[in-house]
Amino acid sequence: MGDVKGGRALVAALGISIAAAFAAPAQATDFHITHATVPSVPGALIANIYYPGIGSGSGSENIRIGRIELTGTDQGGNFASLTTYCADIFDILQPGTFSTADISAAPFSAARIAAATTFLTNADLLVTNSTTSAAAQLGLWEILYETGGSWDVKSGAFHSDVANSAANLANSWLAALSGHIWLPDPSVGLQLLVPQRGNQLQFQLVAGNPQGLPDVPEPASWVMMVGGFGLAGATLRGRCRQQGAKAAR
C-alpha cells in the first residue's frame, strides 16, 4: 500500500487543527515517522465515509479503512514500528514527528474516550484481515464522531457504505460494547500520538491504563454528555483520505 493521506482540517471557531488543539507533555517520547501506511496484512477496505461537517452540512470521502502502521525511529535513533488507529478524520496523515501524550488530552469527551478505549482493547484482538481491520476502524470513528443517539456505522451523522461484512461486524462489536459484554481491560489502555504541524492524531494501544477511565455509558447518555464540544463536526471540516483511494472513485 502507498503512504496514507487524508484531507486538510479547519477548526472554524479557533482556526487550528484538531491535532494542534493541545500541547504534548514535557516528557513525551518523540517518534520521527518516515512511512505511514495501511499494511497489506491485515489490510483494509476501500469505501466512502460520511461525517458531520460545518453547520448542517456534511463531508464525505472515499478512503482506505483499516489499522495503520507507522515506521521510523525513536528519539534515540532506534527503529520504531507503531500500530495505530486514525482518531482524526479531518487532517492529513503523512510522515513527520509524533509525540506521545496521555489519552486524557484527546479533544473528545471522557465518555467517548472511555468507550473508544474499551472498544479498541477488545476489537484489536480480533483484527486478522481486511474485514476485521475495517470493522475496528469504523467502530472507533462511530464512537468518536456520531452525534445521534445510537451506534450504527450504516446510518446516522457518521456512517459508511463499506461492505456489509465489515459494517455488520462493526455494529455487532458496538452492540457488545453498549451491552457491557465487552468490558474494560485494566492491563491495556490508549495513548495519543500527537503530530506536529497539522498532521493526523493517532490512537495507540499500550500496556496499562493509568487514567482510571469511567465505565462505558449507554450511547444515548454519552451523546448528551458531549455538550458544547459538539463532536468537533460542528466546527471542523476536512477528511482522512488515504493515498490511492481517489483512484478508486
Residue 47 bridge partners (DSSP):
63
Instruction: Count, in order, helices (H) and strands (E) of the chain.
Output: 4, 11
The string of DSSP letters for 89-150 reads TTS---SEEEEEEEGGGSSS-HHHHHHHHHHHHHHGGG--SHHHHHHHHHHHHHHHH--SSS
pLDDT value of position 8: 31
CA–CA dist 97, 206 (Å, integer): 19
Minimum mean pLDDT range among 10-24, 34-48, 61-75, 173-187: 10-24
pLDDT value of position 71: 96
With a cut of 80, say whether residue 23 has pLDDT above it. no
Minimum mean pLDDT range among 55-64, 146-155, 197-206, 209-218: 209-218
**Residue boundaries of the structural domains of the chain:** 10-248
pLDDT value of position 54: 55
With a cut of 50, say whether residue 216 has pLDDT above it. yes
With a cut of 80, say whether residue 43 has pLDDT above it. yes
pLDDT value of position 235: 32
CA–CA dist 97, 197 (Å, integer): 9
pLDDT value of position 190: 95
The string of pLDDT tens digits covering residues 79-129 is 999 999 999 988 878 999 999 999 999 999 999 999 999 999 999 999 999
CA–CA dist 63, 51 (Å, integer): 13
109 vs 244, more confident: 109
CA–CA dist 50, 111 (Å, integer): 22
CA dihedral 136, 139, 145, 149 (to 10 degrees): -170
Residues 60 and 50: beta-carbon distance below 8 Å:
yes
The string of pLDDT tens digits covering residues 151-209 is 999 999 999 999 999 999 999 999 999 999 999 999 999 999 999 877 899 999 998 76
How confident is residue 56, by pLDDT bands cut at 50, 70 and 90?
low
Residues 69 and 44: beta-carbon distance below 8 Å:
no
Strands (E), the chain: 10-11, 30-37, 45-52, 58-65, 68-74, 79-86, 96-102, 159-160, 188-195, 202-207, 236-237
Residue 247: phi, psi to the nearest 5? -65, -20
Pairing of the two strands 202-207 and 68-74: unpaired
